[in-house]
């Protein structure tokens, strides 16, 4: 679709995602990619978002599958796929699978995997995951067949469930569209479901091996096993095909009284030298707040605070300290040490956000909670040491951890958490679909904390910390992998569109502050060597953040697209910002006239005065 130069500009890399293959059997169609299935549809309606046989390493990283002997047979009423795959553990052990997929026009699909290991294979999970979509599913009835043969008639969660909504699953039946029912059978292991919106995945995930069982575990050598997923569809006279997306998308706006949040920029001690050299960038992006990361367990001390004090004085911007409290000594002693260090270096703080260090690691359902003082005691110690300074609480990691361990609202002045879109999957589509779930994240937070001041970030495509394993994944070849500490797309137009869509998605949540980057480094605003922008220049996402910074404090104009998953945007009086979230060119007709539409990432005009705008792939524009 793109040549290498276009790919580099858009994604910060010339590496390609594997080309998807569409398989069709009458009204049934599905996408085959990397040996797994995406977007199973019937009569054009999405039935399942994905079916995949996945192998995780001990830290929940995905073991890449090497595929061989792939064969595909297609006829008008049937398709069949066969292939072999091999996954390698860090120990060198290999898990080999033989897979077959069959789809029939009559309304059935089967995915079978036979697998065995050549040596004991250590894994956190190996087996099928089935993803149900959110649209038309959230809050709706569902029927679950359990392993003992009993049927449970329940509902898909509306607000995001912190724990598994359903366990011991043998089959799931749900309504796809008027007149269309789907029943998904899962065989070969014990399955349960989690609400993947916790991690901003746009799906409910049903997976094998309960989380209450120990992990990592070993698949024994030379022990053949089998799992399968079977989907059966039923239609009645009310069933009708889904309407195709129209060529031209419409857009209207709604004025609100909600102010747009302050735009924050993150700081890290290891970037002190490059941050100091990039002070002008803070003015260029119209930043209103600095967020300094501070972790005594990582060796951060008085020197790190002195660097923040220098940056704060030079920039004149308010600074929040994001502090991970070790909780290894008396709490007041640890809190007072931070207060004394801050006083000695003369660091002026707007507020302090505190999180027990151990709470940055996730505690999965069924696991024993680690030793940690009560949050009430942590917050009391910080207040005693730091006096009347505003105190933030919540989680330094993701909404998942906040949803499972909720900060007492009456002990803090504001709430904060971050999100990350590549915890489970890292394809371009998965990352852009994450906004479906992000909307439910902020909706769920506001259901728990209706009136508490609320901040989000730093939230970036790359993962700054892995709550689910020992470390994030190194990514020296700059490809798309889950849990990576560097993501090439951060450097391209893709990240600019993602950043704009993120701000648009959370804009109605009445945030105080939103932080979507650091100043420098792999999560930063400034390009490094060999990136699409020249070294030292602003990355494309910085130009979006600059526009958001200009709008901070103004009244939000919420934009409503006829196709929210493909187009996102927000505005303030006099200006609208739009982002194309797809690899296709979109034609957009706003329900208002405009003077000009200009690209935010390139020095070019997209459209002159009028009513139609043509948005290239992953383009971000300002409409004035």
Q: What's CA 439's distance to the chain center, in Å?
A: 11
d(CA 373, CA 327): 7
Give the pLDDT confidence of 296-321 residue by residue, as tens digits. Answer: 999 999 999 999 999 999 999 999 99
* Least confident residue range of 87-91, 191-195, 541-545, 565-569: 87-91
Distance of CA 265 to the CA centre of its chain: 19
Backbone torsion region of residue 470, taken as left when φ is above 0, otherwise alpha when ψ lies between -120 and 50, otherwise beta? alpha
For position 610, what pLDDT does the model report? 65
What tokens does 428 get?
């371009």
- Does 116 score more than 80 pLDDT? yes
pLDDT in tens, 400-446: 999 999 999 999 999 999 999 999 989 999 999 999 999 999 999 99
pTM: 0.94
pLDDT band at 471 (very low <50, low <70, confident <90, very high): confident
Q: Which residues pair with 217 in a beta bridge?
A: 123
CA angle, 466 then 354 then 349, to 5°: 120
Domains of the chain: 4-235 (2.70.98.10), 259-553 (3.20.20.80)
- Looking at the predicted structure, is the pLDDT value of residue 605 above 90? no
Q: Is residue 590 over pLDDT 90?
A: no
Q: Is residue 447 pLDDT above 70, yes or no?
A: yes
Structure tokens at 589: 């007709």
- Taking CA 174 as the corner, what is the angle to CA 169 and CA 178, rounded to the nearest 5 degrees? 175
564: region left, alpha or beta (phi > 0 left; psi from -120 to 50 alpha):
alpha
Token readout for 573 is 């009086």
- 349 vs 466: which has the higher pLDDT: 349
Q: What is the pLDDT of residues 555-579, one digit of tens each?
A: 999 998 888 889 999 999 989 999 9
């Amino acid at each position: 679709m793109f040549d290498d130069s276009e790919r580099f500009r858009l994604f910060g890399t010339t590496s390609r995602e594997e080309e998807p293959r569409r398989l069709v059997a009458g009204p049934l169609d599905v996408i085959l990619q990397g040996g797994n299935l995406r977007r199973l549809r019937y009569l054009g309606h999405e039935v399942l978002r994905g079916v995949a046989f996945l192998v995780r390493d001990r830290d929940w990283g995905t073991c890449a599958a090497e595929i061989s002997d792939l064969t595909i047979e297609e006829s008008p009423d049937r398709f069949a796929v066969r292939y072999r795959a091999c996954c390698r553990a860090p120990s060198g052990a290999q898990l080999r699978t033989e897979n077959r997929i069959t789809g029939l026009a009559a309304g059935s699909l089967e995915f079978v995997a036979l697998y065995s290991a050549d040596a004991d294979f250590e894994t956190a999970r190996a087996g099928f995951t089935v993803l149900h979509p959110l649209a038309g599913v959230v809050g709706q009835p569902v029927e679950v067949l359990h392993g003992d043969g009993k049927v449970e008639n329940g509902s898909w969660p509306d607000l995001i469930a912190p724990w598994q909504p359903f366990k011991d699953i043998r089959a799931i039946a749900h309504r796809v569209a008027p007149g269309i029912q789907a029943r998904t059978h899962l065989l070969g292991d014990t399955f349960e479901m989690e609400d993947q919106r916790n991690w901003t995945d746009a799906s409910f995930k049903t997976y094998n091996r309960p989380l209450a069982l120990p992990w990592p575990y070993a698949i024994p050598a030379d022990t053949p096993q089998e799992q399968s997923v079977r989907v059966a569809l039923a239609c009645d006279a009310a069933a009708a095909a889904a309407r195709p997306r129209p060529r031209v998308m419409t857009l209207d706006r709604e004025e609100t009284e909600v102010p747009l949040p302050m735009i924050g920029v993150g700081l890290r001690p290891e970037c002190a030298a490059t941050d100091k050299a990039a002070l002008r960038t803070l003015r260029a992006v119209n930043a209103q707040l600095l967020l300094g990361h501070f972790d005594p367990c990582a060796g951060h001390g008085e020197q790190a605070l002195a660097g923040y004090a220098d940056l704060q004085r030079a920039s004149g911007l308010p600074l929040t300290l994001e502090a991970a409290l070790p909780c290894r000594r008396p709490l007041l002693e640890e809190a007072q040490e931070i207060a004394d260090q801050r006083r000695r270096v003369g660091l002026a703080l707007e507020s302090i956000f505190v999180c027990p260090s151990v709470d940055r690691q996730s505690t999965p359902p069924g696991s024993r909670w680690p030793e940690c003082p009560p949050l009430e005691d942590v917050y009391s110690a910080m207040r005693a040491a730091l006096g009347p300074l505003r105190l933030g609480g919540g989680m330094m990691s993701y909404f998942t951890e906040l949803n499972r361990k909720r900060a007492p609202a009456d002990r803090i002045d504001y709430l904060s958490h971050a999100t990350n879109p590549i915890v489970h999957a890292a394809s371009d589509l998965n990352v852009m679909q994450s906004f479906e779930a992000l909307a439910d994240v902020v909706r769920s937070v506001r259901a728990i904390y209706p009136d508490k001041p609320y901040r989000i970030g730093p939230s970036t495509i790359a993962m700054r910390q892995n709550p689910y394993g020992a470390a994030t994944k190194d990514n020296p070849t700059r490809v798309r992998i889950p849990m990576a500490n560097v993501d090439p797309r951060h450097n391209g137009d893709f990240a600019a569109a993602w950043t704009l869509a993120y701000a648009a998605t959370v804009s109605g949540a009445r945030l105080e502050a939103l932080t979507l980057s650091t100043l420098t480094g792999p999560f930063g605003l400034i390009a490094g060597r060999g990136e699409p922008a020249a070294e030292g220049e602003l990355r494309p996402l910085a130009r979006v953040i600059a526009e958001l910074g200009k709008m901070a404090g103004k009244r939000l104009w919420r934009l409503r697209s006829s196709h929210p998953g493909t187009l996102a945007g927000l505005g303030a009086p006099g200006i609208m910002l739009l982002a194309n979230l797809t690899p296709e060119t979109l034609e957009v007709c706003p329900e208002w006239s405009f003077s000009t539409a200009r690209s935010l990432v390139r020095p070019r005009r997209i459209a002159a005065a009028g009513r139609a705008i043509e948005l290239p792939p992953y383009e971000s524009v300002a409409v004035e």
